[in-house]
Chains A and B, each alone.
Chain A
Amino acid sequence: MDELFQHFLNAIILGGTYALLGIGLTLIFGIMRVVNFTHGELYAFGAYCMYALVMIFHVNFFLALALAMAMGILMGAALEMLLLNRLRGADIDTTMLVMIGAWIVMQNMEQFIWSGVALSINSPFPANPLVLGPLSVSWNRVYVFIIALALIGATYYLVNRTRLGKAMRATFQDRDTAALMGIRIDRIHTATFALGSGLAAAAGALLGPVFVVTPTMGDLAASKAFAIVILGGLGNITGATLGGFILAFVEELGAGYISSGYRDAMGFLLIILILLMRPTGLFAQKERIG
């Protein structure tokens, strides 16, 4: 019984970070129709920024998080303006190829600069976990969970309550009309990509201290993010949030009671099942055909 509760607790904690990984990607896809293969590298970028700030420049741990996220935003904006802006209107596989190229470049630059050796970031949290009866969870994880939820909330607010958000949603609904309404589509794209990148970098900066920082750390994060996005329906923030938690539960319980070897397969199996039953993802509003 305790094991089951521990699994639940783990899943909830993990779900928060998965959701954070997911929304950035889904935002970019929904609004820009770009399958962002650099998502995982921006996650790694955030983690390396965190490492540099905390371990080399001894910046305050919490300040460093904010800075890392800011750098992620700048990085994202730069990528968008450098690579994607001139590719608008190109078909999905062209942009995808460019993003794959960028992914290869970024990952190997990371290894070139930092070498393949794993780095770890000290966190100010007590090493002893928070104990709840038979259950326990590290303070660092709790902190990550809370910040993740906060960031997700902030994103919701930004998308649903602000003028920028309104413009984003308009672009998402119908870019042509949006353009007619005088929305600067390219600005929206840059903003969207920057925001998505910032969220990915934040996730990296949050999880860097929990895990270790390596050049290939982005790959797994990216594959999870893709799973989450498709679970929730492409471009659906609520879906991605729920998708994050669902994936966490499926993995945790799947690994716990079916086979840990298939832990990382669970998400993909789920995707295939869901797409066969509901092609637009779990929470996507039905689309019109013809």
Chain B
Amino acid sequence: MSASAETILSIEHVAVHFGGLVAVSDMTFDVKRGEVVGLIGPNGAGKTTAFNVITGFQRQTSGEVLYRSHRLTGMKPHEIARLGLVRTFQRTSVFKERSVFENVLTGLHCSGRSNLWDTLLRSRREKSSEHELADAANEILRFIGLERRAGEAAGILPYGEQRLIGVALALAVKPTMLLLDEPVSGMNQAETARFVKLLEKISASGVTILLVEHDMPMVMQVCNRIVVLNYGRIIAEGAPAEIQSNPEVIRAYLGQGKKRA
């Protein structure tokens, strides 16, 4: 994480208004390649809105989002995902009626090489492509530690494992940067610990990570930088140690930060 590392994502003066209310106001921060950045703040601070803007699910009112020198404004979510900027969702988000294996296969969509005619004519390309995808899916499942669940319907798995499938889906897109929205919420200690390991493994594989999380110990443990949002604006930014001792952050979390943005 040397300071010289290139900036991969930069949020520039982004603001989001829903009619009257301000969800995010003038947000500006960068993420450098290889970093693990935490985006924290009390409920309704605008964290998820920020995610939605970055990944194209929500159009910002003003400001710019740049990802590896691409202007993301106006791009569709699937186009952004194809740039390698991939997100997970807050609530458990899997294709419930499909097997875990199929979930990951679906995630591998963009890696497929076959077109409609290959499919209809069962061409050689179709078969080889499908086989590659199957292999890749198994690799990811093993990487995530769900290979034993491959055949089961995703919807019936325990909560924690469904969150893992969410991550597996994201990994399947071969991301260069991962946006995790409260990945460990609702996980127990053991699950969280396991997830932290996984996170480190992913980070080690060269994927940049931006995560929104309420579980402070976890955030402090995995992040090398933290951005604090309150009432839609950034109130602090820095290394975990600094953030923990930042009076304004403490006030915000104690719910005294009454001053309106």
Contact = CB atoms under 8 A, between A and B. Distances in A.
Given a CB threshold of 8 Å, the question of whether A touches B is answered with yes
Interface of A: 288-290
A77 B52 CA distance: 43
Contacts of B18: 288
A251 B57 CA distance: 40
A176 to B, nearest CB: 13
B58 interface: yes
Nearest to A290: B57
6 contacts: A288-B18, A289-B57, A289-B58, A290-B52, A290-B57, A290-B58
Contacts of B52: 290
Interface in B168-189: none
Interface string B139-179: 00000000000000000000000000000000000000000
A256 B120 CA distance: 51
* Chain A interface helix/strand/loop/mixed: loop
Interface of B: 18, 52, 57-58
Contacts of A289: 57-58
Contacts of A290: 52, 57-58
Contacts of B57: 289-290
Contacts of A288: 18
A289 B52 CA distance: 10
A288 B58 CA distance: 9
Nearest to B48: A290
A44 to B, nearest CB: 40
A289 B53 CA distance: 12
A289 B57 CA distance: 7
A220 B19 CA distance: 40
A148 B57 CA distance: 44
Contacts of B58: 289-290
A289 B56 CA distance: 11
Nearest to A288: B18
B209 to A, nearest CB: 21
A99 B33 CA distance: 56
A280 to B, nearest CB: 16
Nearest to B58: A290
B36 to A, nearest CB: 25
A289 B18 CA distance: 11
B54 to A, nearest CB: 12
B72 to A, nearest CB: 15
A219 B58 CA distance: 41
- CB-CB nearest 6 A-B residue pairs: A290-B57, A290-B52, A290-B58, A288-B18, A289-B57, A289-B58
Nearest to A286: B19
A288 B52 CA distance: 12
A290 B181 CA distance: 14
A288 B57 CA distance: 10
Nearest to B56: A290
